[in-house]
């Protein structure tokens, strides 16, 4: 069954970036996943289609109302149940959530259905979040104008993990962070570009040496740019030896 994704958003037109473009767009077109968008303004009862109000206790900005969001979330869940998803996993996108990482993406990709709530303004009435939301996810320690971009990041990251989505079945397994390391450098034609030659190991045809070089480069880049990943992941004796070789050869890292 295709992965079912519903998103509750005040700006459904923004999601064309994932529903119509690139790998995710092709995945939706080919039936690997289905995306349904719900605008909470369509679930309001007043002429102004109001979805926000001033916060109790005062303060700047507005807070999204619980009632139209609840109605939109209910509609999304009913749609998924009609598609055979008994209980979709409901996610709120917020910088207050736990950071999105590869392990979490893989867990979400195993879900039959997801409902994403993209907040706006100063936030969402907490009572709505307490009743409806299973998980809050952040894509970084910064504030966006709304949760739409974060929701699209989650969708794109998950879609590429679905079976059959990528042309090369091994592509997803070789992405950065899959093994806890940053990706190695990539090269293509021409062999010499502005006086810089592709590393000879990549043109030599020895696949064992190529794999060894790629792991070594991943370790080097991770140590340089994301030492926190190495500290969290740790290194095997063989990987430690690879890094030691780089120091002995005075290679830049």
User: From the candidates 34, 49, 95, 239, which is the catalytic residue?
Assistant: 95
- Tell me whether residue 148 is one of the annotated catalytic residues: no
Q: What is the pLDDT of residue 63?
A: 96
Q: What is the pLDDT of residue 173?
A: 62
In a domain, 166, yes or no: no
Tell me how many domains the chain contains. 2
User: From the candidates 34, 122, 156, 239, which is the catalytic residue?
Assistant: 122
- Is the domain of 155 the same as that of 80? yes
Residue ranges, the chain, pLDDT below 50: 251-253
In a domain, 253, yes or no: no
In a domain, 29, yes or no: yes
In angstroms, the Cα distances linking 195 to 126, 185, 192, 253 are 59, 18, 6, 21
- Is the domain of 194 the same as that of 133? no
CB 24 within 8 A of CB 30: no
- Is the domain of 32 the same as that of 129? yes
- Is the domain of 55 the same as that of 115? yes
- Is the domain of 59 the same as that of 118? yes
Which is nearest to 149 in space by CA: 127, 119, 126?
A: 119
29: CATH: 3.40.1280.10
Residue 138, classed as helix, strand or coil, is: strand
In a domain, 165, yes or no: no
Q: Are strands 63-64 and 33-38 parallel, antiparallel or unpaired?
A: unpaired
Q: What is the pLDDT of residue 169?
A: 59
Domain boundary among 159, 186, 215: 159
Q: What is the pLDDT of residue 39?
A: 98
In a domain, 77, yes or no: yes
- Is the domain of 148 the same as that of 239? no
In a domain, 110, yes or no: yes
- Is the domain of 217 the same as that of 113? no
User: From the candidates 79, 90, 120, 160, which is the catalytic residue?
Assistant: 160
How many beta carbons lie within 10 A of that of residue 129, not counting itself? Answer: 19
Domain of 221 in residue numbering reads as 176-248
How many beta carbons lie within 10 A of that of residue 193, not counting itself? Answer: 11
Domain boundary among 100, 132, 159: 159
Q: What is the pLDDT of residue 236?
A: 95
The tens digit of pLDDT for each residue in 169-206 reads: 556 665 656 788 999 999 999 999 999 999 999 999 99
Q: What is the pLDDT of residue 246?
A: 84
- Tell me whether residue 125 is one of the annotated catalytic residues: no
Long-range CB pairs of 106-111, under 8 A, 24+ apart, other chains included: 106/161, 108/154, 108/158, 109/3, 109/158, 109/161, 109/162, 111/3
- Tell me whether residue 95 is one of the annotated catalytic residues: yes
CB 217 within 8 A of CB 184: yes
- Is the domain of 146 the same as that of 193? no
- Is the domain of 91 the same as that of 14? yes
- Is the domain of 135 the same as that of 222? no
Domain boundary among 118, 133, 159: 159
- Tell me whether residue 191 is one of the annotated catalytic residues: no
Q: What is the pLDDT of residue 252?
A: 46
């Amino acid at each position: 069954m295709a992965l079912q994704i519903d998103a509750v958003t005040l700006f459904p037109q923004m999601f064309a970036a994932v529903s119509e473009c690139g790998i995710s767009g092709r995945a939706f077109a080919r039936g690997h996943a289905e995306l349904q968008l719900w605008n909470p303004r369509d679930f309001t009862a007043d002429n102004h289609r109001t979805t926000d109000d001033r916060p109790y206790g005062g303060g700047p900005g507005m807070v999204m109302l619980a009632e139209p969001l609840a109605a939109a979330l209910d509609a999304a869940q009913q749609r998924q149940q009609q598609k055979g998803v008994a209980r979709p996993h409901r996610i709120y996108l917020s910088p207050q959530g736990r950071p999105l990482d590869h392990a979490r993406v893989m867990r979400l990709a195993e879900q039959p259905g997801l409902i994403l709530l993209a907040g706006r303004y100063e936030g969402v009435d907490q009572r709505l979040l307490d009743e409806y939301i299973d998980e809050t996810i952040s894509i970084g320690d910064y504030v966006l104008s709304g949760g739409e971009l974060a929701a699209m990041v989650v969708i794109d990251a998950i879609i590429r993990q679905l079976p059959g989505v990528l042309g090369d079945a091994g592509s997803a397994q070789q992405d950065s962070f899959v093994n806890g390391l940053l990706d190695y450098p990539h090269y293509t034609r021409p062999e010499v570009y502005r006086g810089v030659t592709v590393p000879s190991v990549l043109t030599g045809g020895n696949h064992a040496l190529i794999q060894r070089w790629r792991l070594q480069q991943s370790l080097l880049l991770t140590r340089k740019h994301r030492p926190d990943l190495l500290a969290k992941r740790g290194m095997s004796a063989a990987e430690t030896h690879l890094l030691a070789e780089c120091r002995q050869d005075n290679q830049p890292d």
